[in-house]
Each structure stands twice: as structure tokens, then as C-alpha cells.
Amino acid sequence: MRRIYLDYAATTPVDPEVVKAMSSFFTDTFGNPSGTYSHGQEAKEAIEGARVRVSELIGAEADEIVFTSGGTESDNFALVGVAYANQAKGNHIITTPVEHHAVTETCKYLEERGFRITYVPVDEYGLVDPSDMEKAITDDTILISVMHANNEMGTIEPIAEIGKIAKAREIYFHTDAVQTVGHLPVDVDELGVDLLSLSAHKFYGPKGVGALYIRRGIEIAPFLHGGEQERRRRAGTENVPGIVGLGRAIELAGQEMDKEADRLTCLRDKLIKGILERIDHTRLNGHPSMRLPNNVNMSFGFLEGESIVLNLDLEGICASTGSACSSASLEPSHVLSAMGLSSEQVYGSVRFSLGKWTSEEMIERVLEVLTKIVHKLRAVSPLMQENRQ
Ligand code: PLP
């Protein structure tokens, strides 16, 4: 059975071109970049090359990029680093209830340490209203953190508008762009952000490596302490092969992004339309047009998303309920709940996320298999029986 992978938002396979670029840095150019011998210096040069590539794709300067172990570390670094470095100015942080756990759990951690967090609500599409953000600002506000696009239901937030407000009020602005960098144009000046998180394994790079963009002049406390790597902003021997992979992946993404976004948008819309037409009692979650080109999140009435995902897996199709991090637990999605979905709609949701190796033929097969599965499960669903009576 040919596997159909539709969980690219959780992680992507590494592009063979990226593997090729990385390989010599494991066994050949393996020197420590802090070493003064040429072997170490070659590794150092490779890191600096990757830094330039990352900075170019997001419209930043190379020295504004700090390599990290991925999106989670970048988010933690941004929030904790800014909070600790600026607590003399204030203790208030504004965010939304639909952020990734890497942000919401960090906010909880800061709350336990005396910071005050305001969660500005989102509408039924998961969109935050910039004017609500503005209203939440107080004299103590030091940071706003809003994700660029949501990993579960794909909605793209009005970052540039919030950026203007943050700038006018002289408040630092962080965005978690883990789902957009490498997929959509991202420019830190156009978005008006001071800090931006990205992660390589979401755009065909390796896992365990990412970056935090930190605008020059931003006051931020280091998150990891030790050596002097990354201009003393992130201690620890650099993950050289990972960083080289990130650099190559972002370079490829820059070349392919526009075409790929158009192609995926067509496939995404075909899948959405197909589900809505073929299966009744279904609804699309997230914004209908302001959404990631590769995200389809649907609720299936009278069913649990979990059983649909298990049945799809038996047919060789990988999809997920909620985000990769929470799908191992049976906690209902905090994102869909914050959008006001009923618990039935939340539990009945499934996310399909498309990518580089998704074809039209695969979408047709998914539609065929999914329709059969939903009908089969509904035939034995007690909720469906109740509805019929
Ligand atoms: N932020 C968002 C929006 C994500 O989708 C993810 C990964 O699922 C993360 C942060 C965490 O990134 P990483 O897996 O690189 O730690």
C-alpha cells in the first residue's frame, strides 16, 4: 500500500538536496566551529553562510539571526528573554488563546513568576482583531506575541496591522512564524516584528534546529548560559549539520515557494470542496480564504476525529487531530475551543496538511477513502442514531 502523508504541518520529510548539503558536516568537516584550526573555521563559515540565507529570506540582517534547537526554543527564548530583560519597564504581556503550546505554556511559566498575561480573544475563524490588541495595551505592557499562522486551523493573523500598533506604542512584538517561513513571503519590516521564530523541520529541513530573529537593539536576556557562541546570545556548541541543513532548506524554499503555494492552494481547495460536497454534516474550521495554502481542518458531525484518523491510518493515510504535540493526549484542542466551536465539533475535527509530495491523485484517493470511512463509522455511531430519531 502506498502511504499518503498529509501531516506536513507536524513535520516534513527532509529534502534529499538538504541531506546532501548536510552529510559532509557529520564525518568530514566535523570540527568545532570555535576551533581556530581550518577544520573548525570551515564549519564556522558554513554556519555564517546559513545565517545569511535565513536573513535574506525574511528581510533581516545576518547578525539578527540566532540559531536555536527549533520553534519551541525560539518561542521560549523570545518570551522569557524579553520578559526578564525588561521587567524594570513593566510586567504585562499580550497574546492570544490560539498560540502554540510553546507560547502559551511559556506564558503560564511567566505568570507564575509575577508577569501578567492578557489573552485577547479570537473570532469564530480564529482571527484576532488588531483594535482589541490595542485596547489591551497598558503602561506596563512590554511584549505582544501573536502567531503568523495557526498550525491547527491555518488562519493567517493580521500581523502587519498589529505590528504598526506595537511600533506606535513602543512595545516589542514577537511572532511565531513556524508555519509560514518557507511557505509564504515573510519580511520582518513589512510585518513590523521585532522577534520572529522559525523551525527547519516545517520546510523540508532537519528536526531540532531553528532560529530566532532578534531586531538590532532589542533588549533580551540570553536563554542558555555557557560559552560565547551566537554572540553570547545562545551558548552551546552549534548544531553544524543542522544549521547547514536549515540554510539549504530555506534557500530551496525561497526558490520554490511561490509556485508551490499556488499548487497547494488548488489541492487544498479541491480537498475542502470535495469533503463538503461528498460528506454531509461537515464544516471547515479556520478562515475560508486567509489561511495557509496547505491546511485543511474539518469537523465531521457525530464522529470523533480520533477514530477517523485511526481508520485513515489503516488505509495508509496519515492525518491528525489537532497539533502534533497535543494529539497524543485526549485534551480537546485549545485552539478550536477558543474559536467557540462546540465540544462535538472540537472532538470531531481532523487536520490534513499538504506538502511538496502531495499530488492531485492522492487528494482524489483521500476523498474516496474518507467518504467510505465516515459513512461506515456513522452507521454505528450512537450520536448519529440519536440524531435520526
Ligand atoms: N510553533 C508552531 C506554530 C508550531 O507549529 C510548532 C510545531 O509544531 C512549534 C512552534 C514548535 O516547533 P518545534 O517542533 O521546532 O519545536
Q: Read off the CATH number of the domain in which 31 is found.
A: 3.40.640.10
Q: Which of 199, 226, 252 is the last residue of a domain?
A: 252
Residue 248 and residue 268 in one domain: no
| 273: containing domain | 4-11+257-388
Radius of gyration of the chain (CA): 22
Q: How far does residue 379's CA lie from ligand 1's centre (Å)?
A: 37
Q: Which residue, of 204, 237, 252, is where some domain finishes?
A: 252
Instruction: Give the residue, out of 202, 204, 326, with the most ligand 1 atoms within 8 A of its beta carbon, to mutate for a pocket test.
Output: 202
Are residues 160 and 218 both part of a single domain? yes
Same domain, 273 and 219: no
C-alpha cell at 243: 544549521
Q: Whose CA is nearest to atom 9 of ligand 1?
A: 71
In a shared domain, residues 340 and 380: yes
Among the listed residues 191, 205, 231, the one whose alpha carbon sits nearest the alpha carbon of residue 62: 231
Q: Are residues 168 and 276 in the same domain?
A: no
Task: Report the separation in Å between the CA atom of 151 and the middle of ligand 1, taken as the mean of its atom positions.
Answer: 8
Are 263 and 245 in a shared domain? Answer: no
Helix (H, G, I), strand (E, B), or coil: what is residue 70? Answer: coil
Q: Which residues contact 185 (CB under 8 A, 6 or more apart)?
A: 257
What is the per-residue pLDDT for 389? 67
Q: Which residues of the chain have pLDDT under 50?
A: 323-327
Final residue of a structural domain among 252, 281, 308:
252
Phi, psi of 351 (to 5 degrees): -110, 130
How far apart are the C-alpha atoms of 221 and 77, rounded to whole Å?
8
Query: Which residue has a Cα nearest atom 8 of ligand 1?
Result: 10
Rounded-to-integer distance, Cα 12 and Cα 206, Å: 9
Question: The cell 490534513 sits on which residue?
Answer: 352
Residue 331 has a pLDDT of: 76
Instruction: Say which of 107, 266, 318, 325 is annotated catalytic.
Output: 325
Residues with a CB atom less than 6 Å from ligand 1: 70-72, 75, 100, 102, 147, 151, 176, 178-179, 199, 201, 210, 323-324
- Residue 229 sits in the same domain as residue 162: yes
334 CB-near residues (< 8 Å, 6+ apart): 97, 98, 104, 326
Residue 318 annotated as catalytic: no
**99-to-11, 45, 94, 200 alpha-carbon distances in Å:** 18, 35, 11, 19
Residues 6 or more apart from 291 whose CB is under 8 A from it? Answer: 149, 153, 154, 155, 156
Which amino acid residue places its CA nearest to atom 10 of ligand 1? 71
- Cα dihedral 54, 58, 59, 63, rounded to 10, equals -40
The answer on 273 and 326 residing in a single domain is yes
Residue 100 and residue 323 in contact, taking contact as beta carbons nearer than 8 Å: yes
How many distinct structural domains can be found in the chain?
Answer: 2
Domain identity same for 196 and 273: no
68 & 193 share domain: yes
CATH number assigned to the domain comprising residue 308: 3.90.1150.10
Are residues 229 and 289 both part of a single domain?
no
Please give the pLDDT value at position 387. Answer: 77
Residue 214 phi/psi, 5-degree rounding, is: -130, 110
Residues 239 and 364 in one domain: no
